[in-house]
Amino acid sequence: MKATLSSEWLKLRSVTSTWHVVGAAALMMMLGAVWAVYVGGLADERGSVQAAAPEQGFLPLLQMSLTVLGVLAITSEYATGMIRTSLTVVPQRRTLFLAKAVVVGLTTSTTAYVVLLVTYSASRLIAAGHRLGFNETSLADDLPMLFAAGISVTALALVGLGLGAAMRSTAGAIVSVVTLLFILPGVVNYLPPPWSTRVATLLLPNLVPQLAGHRLSSRLGDGLLPPWAALLALLLYPAIALIVGFVMFKRRDA
């Protein structure tokens, strides 16, 4: 298993697309700094400004960037035919798939928390002295949200890996994640109450604030899961995707 993990890590870091994706994720840090400068200027003009914290406002960029990394970890091998070589070296498909999941999980988790913490720290330093909503909270207050955001990024990357293994299509897997993250929350609004609230509570974008113990927006009513239930619901997404992906990966020929 150790050798397989080393091999998967070598493959992941030696592919140019990996660094492109990480660079796109790191763009969040620059955007966060720009946002802090912009709203800081508004605060100076108006006396105070309530603005979204950059680590929350730009979270979808980080989520989608590292989701692409999870998808490419498997679909790029199918596209190039490298999957045959991988299966020749590691014929145990369970070991190979597990190694991919571990490498993707550790890589995306580490990248996500580095980007989130740097974005958080830089924006607070830039906004120091300005009367900004996101500058009035302490790190202890914001840690639950930072933790929840990082977990969501890793979960989505593993969802991407599972869907990539099931579909063997980069475009198909990415579109599926985009649907989960952006399209379904809008569609759910058209469900009759109370189903709109019940379903919305379980959707990916709404699980992050619930995991941090925050109440959802007023348009969703009083629907709120306790943090442990929100974490369980969030982990179910990658669990289901990885199970489906592994079953398809095991049954089909390379």
The alpha-carbon radius of gyration of the chain (Å, integer) is 20
29-69: pLDDT as tens digits? 999 888 888 887 777 666 676 777 888 889 999 999 999 99
Of the given ranges (121-130, 133-142, 145-154, 242-251), which has the lowest mean pLDDT?
Answer: 133-142
Instruction: Identify which has the larger pLDDT, 244 or 141.
Output: 244
Would the pLDDT of 177 be above 90? yes
Instruction: Say yes or no to pLDDT of 132 above 90.
Output: no
The pTM of this model reads 0.91
Task: Show me where the domains of the chain are located.
Answer: 2-251
How does the average pLDDT of the chain come out, rounded?
87
Q: 195 or 217: which carries more pLDDT confidence?
A: 195
Asked if residue 204 lies in contact with residue 180, where contact means CB atoms within 8 angstroms, the answer is: yes
With tokens 């999870």, the residue in question is: 70
pLDDT digits over 82-95, tens only? Answer: 888 888 888 888 99
Closest CA to 131 of 34, 1, 3, 43: 43
**Two tokens at 66?**
């590292």
Largest interatomic CA distance in the chain:
65
What confidence score (pLDDT) does residue 50 get? Answer: 75
What share of the chain has pLDDT > 70, as a percent?
A: 91
Find the helix packing angle between 93-127 and 82-89, rounded to 10°.
120
